[in-house]
């Protein structure tokens, strides 16, 4: 069964001096302020499209990796995944780097790296972002 999730943004003013607020409509868990400065300079308590993409990518990747490991008969005890999305003003998103550490009983480093690479390629967010270079560092902890 397909699902649809919704969010919306209200923006006031011009790009450089304006401000907006992103609302997560489907979950209702929050409203997040966003500005050009929080995107291109320092966050200063505000989010950016890139941070929201990083959140989506790290969570999707974690789920895909947990699924891959579980299907192989070695469910993880703990996965800690991070996504770093790089934004260059005037160019756009120039890359995403995923980092994952895992506690997975019965799995060696090579098998974990292979599962992580599979998850990187096959998680739905990675597939949606195929126009972006996505790199990965993985290690058992």
Asked if residues 120 and 113 have their Cβ atoms less than 8 Å apart, the reply is no
Task: Work out the angle at residue 63's Cα, subtended by the Cα atoms of residues 61 and 88, and round it to the nearest 5 degrees.
Answer: 20
- Name the band, by pLDDT with cuts 50, 70 and 90, for residue 123: very high
DSSP SS3 for 68: helix
| Strand pairing report for 30-34 and 19-24 | antiparallel
pLDDT (tens digit per residue) in 60-113: 999 999 999 999 999 999 999 999 999 999 999 999 999 999 999 999 999 999
CATH match for 49-140 among 3.30.420.40, 3.40.50.1820, 3.20.20.70, 3.30.300.20 = 3.30.300.20
Strand partners, 49: none
- The pLDDT value given to residue 55: 98
pLDDT of the residue at 47? 97
So where are the chain's domains? 7-40, 49-140
pTM over 0.85: yes
């Amino acid at each position: 069964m397909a699902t649809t999730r919704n969010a919306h943004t209200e923006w006031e003013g011009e790009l450089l001096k304006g401000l907006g607020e992103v609302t997560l409509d489907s979950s209702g868990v929050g409203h997040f302020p966003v500005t050009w400065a929080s995107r291109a300079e320092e966050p200063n308590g505000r989010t950016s499209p890139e941070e929201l993409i990083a959140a989506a990518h790290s969570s999707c990747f974690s789920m895909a990796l947990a699924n891959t490991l579980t299907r192989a008969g070695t469910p993880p005890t703990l996965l800690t995944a991070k996504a770093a999305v790089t934004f260059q003003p005037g160019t756009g998103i120039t890359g995403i780097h995923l980092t994952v550490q895992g506690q997975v009983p019965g799995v060696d480093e090579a098998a974990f790296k292979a599962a992580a690479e599979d998850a990187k390629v096959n998680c739905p967010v990675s597939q949606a972002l195929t126009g972006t270079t996505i790199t990965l560092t993985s290690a058992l902890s």
